[in-house]
Amino acid sequence: MSKNILITGGAGFIGCHVVKLFVNRYPAYKIVNLDCLTYAGNLENLKDIEHAENYFFEKVNILNAEELMRVFEQYQITDVIHLAAESHVDRSISYPLAFVQTNVIGTVNLLNVCKQTWQSLEQHLFYHISTDEVYGSLGESGYFLETTPYDPQSPYSASKASSDHFVRAYTNTYGMNTVISNCSNNYGPNQFPEKLIPLCIHNIRNNKPLPIYGKGENIRDWLFVEDHAKAIDLIFHRGKSGETYNIGGFNEWKNIDIVRLICDKMDEKLGRAAGTSKQLITFVKDRAGHDMRYAIDAHKIKQELGWEPSLQFEEGISKTIDWYMEHEAWLNNVTSGGYQKYYEEHYEER
Ligand code: NAD
């Protein structure tokens, strides 16, 4: 069946991989990428498919209901995959209101436009992409299940939890057909270098300190971004209405161990003596309210939809480093200007 799918946030890190996968795999679908191009959105991420016949781009803010209505009517949108968000925890600590605006109000705005535009709500799907951070922080043991109560700790996770609640409320109240997935930390090509893995790659290349929060003991589960995009594809097509799916890599790492792994691999790739990059590791004051451990139990999606991660972490890290080494212009472009100022304010005053 032909579909006209609106993908929001398609110029960002995860969104661009989802857009590329859908455009290439489903030539009969019309894919409309709606993105207002914040510092995190970059159309260069979509160069491979920008001329595809089934791909369209609209520079629109999800806060603008009038423009959303126009896009829905112009393309006769049948389904939404919603990724547009403010996504960086550190920024949410400095600017919480921006996260309420985009993540909460923007999501409700989009839900309202769907409700107003779609004639029979059950024939359309609103798919919300969310995070495992809504579940809060774990101790040394245990895993987040789909039934784990929400306990968000940062302004970012509180805003995502709130938007998840609104999505469920639109199902309960108006009968909207929705699905939510909560995924662990993604890594891979095209990630903005404020996040741990690309930040380390970029700084090692430039012989700059590698700022590590606290003692680097915090644990995260990591998933290669293309595996996340494949899970989104499966859930979009075969997920059950009203359900939540946790997506994870079965791959827990302490931050410091990831940084050491990247240092070793970069020394090798750059032909530097073993141990050179590790000298750049610099411990900085911990992030306020830093969650200790996230770990996803992704058995539901494995059992019900047959999804599992395809890439081993060390292989994924190598692939990621290679991508950043081959895309120096991309990296220089996104790290110039505004980001430079943010970086200096954020790390260099500590
Ligand atoms: P990102 O910051 O790289 O990209 C976000 C995109 O949304 C950008 O292209 C930006 O321009 C766009 N955007 C922001 N505000 C907008 C607005 N008001 N209107 C229109 N477009 C706007 O984020 P990401 O890492 O790709 O994350 C995408 C989604 O996945 C987010 O909802 C995030 O919460 C979720 N998620 C991310 C991760 C992760 O590890 N990165 C893990 C789980 C879930």
> What tens digit of pLDDT does each residue of 261-287 get?
999 999 999 999 999 999 999 999 999
85-137: per-residue pLDDT in tens? 999 999 999 999 999 999 999 999 999 999 999 999 889 999 999 999 999 99
**Is the CB of residue 152 less than 8 Å from the CB of residue 99?**
no
Pocket of ligand 1 (CB under 6 A): 8-9, 11-15, 35-38, 40-41, 61-63, 83-87, 102, 106, 129-131, 160, 183, 185-186, 192
Q: pLDDT category, 334, cuts 50, 70, 90?
A: confident
Look up residue 260 and give its two tokens.
């050491």
Q: Whose CA is nearest to atom 4 of ligand 1?
A: 12
Cα atoms in the Cβ-side hemisphere of radius 13 Å centred on 290: 17
Is residue 19's pLDDT more than 80?
Answer: yes
Return the residue whose CA atom lies nearest to atom 32 of ligand 1. Answer: 83
pLDDT in tens, 296-315: 999 999 999 999 999 999 99
Dihedrals φ, ψ of 187, to 5°? -145, 165
Of 178, 116, 154, 146, nearest to 298 by C-alpha is 146
Residue 57 pairs with which residues in a beta bridge? 33
How many other C-beta atoms are found inside a 10 Å radius of the C-beta of residue 327?
15
Nearest residue by C-alpha to atom 1 in ligand 1: 12
Give me ligand 1 centre to Cα 325, in Å.
24
Is the separation of the CB atoms in 227 and 249 below 8 Å?
yes
pLDDT exceeds 80 at position 6:
yes
Q: Is the pLDDT of residue 211 over 80?
A: yes
Residue 158, judged by CB atoms within 10 A of its CB (0-12, 13-18, 19+), counts as buried
Homologous superfamily of the 4-187+224-247 domain (CATH): NAD(P)-binding Rossmann-like Domain (3.40.50.720)
Testing ligand 1's pocket by substitution, the residue of 6, 18, 38, 80 carrying the most ligand atoms inside 8 A of its CB is 38
| Ligand 1 centroid, distance to 6 Cα (angstroms) | 15
Where is 219: in which H helix or E strand? strand 219-224
DSSP helix/strand/coil, 69: helix
Give the C-alpha separation, 29 to 283, whole Å.
48
Is residue 332 predicted with pLDDT exceeding 90?
no
Bridge partners (DSSP) listed for residue 211:
282
Instruction: Report the separation in Å between the CA atom of 269 and the middle of ligand 1, taken as the mean of its atom positions.
Output: 30
- Asked if the model's pLDDT at residue 349 lies above 70, the reply is no
For 30-83, write each residue's pLDDT tens digit: 999 999 999 999 999 999 999 999 999 999 999 999 999 999 999 999 999 999
**Encoding tokens for residue 145?**
């299940």
Residue 331 has pLDDT above 70, yes or no: yes
**Rounded to the nearest whole angstrom, what is the distance from the C-alpha of residue 88 to the centroid of ligand 1?**
9
Tokens of 330: 């991309």
Q: Tell me the catalytic residues.
A: 132-133, 156
Interatomic CA distance for residues 162 and 134, integer angstroms = 9
Q: How confident is the model at residue 347 (pLDDT cuts 50, 70, 90)?
A: low
CA-closest candidate to residue 231, choices 311, 177, 166: 311
Report pLDDT for 348.
58
pLDDT digits (tens, 9 = 90+) for 242-251: 999 999 999 9
Calculate ∠ Cα 238-10-226, nearest 5°. 55
Residues 6+ apart with CB under 8 A from 297: 143, 144, 145, 246, 248
**DSSP letters for 15-27:** HHHHHHHHHHH-T
Task: Look up residue 348 and give its two tokens.
Answer: 């260099």
- The average confidence (pLDDT) of the chain is 95
User: Counting atoms of ligand 1 from 1, which one is nearest the CA of 187?
Assistant: 40
pLDDT of residue 343: 73
Which residue's CA is the nearest one to ligand 1's atom 41? 186
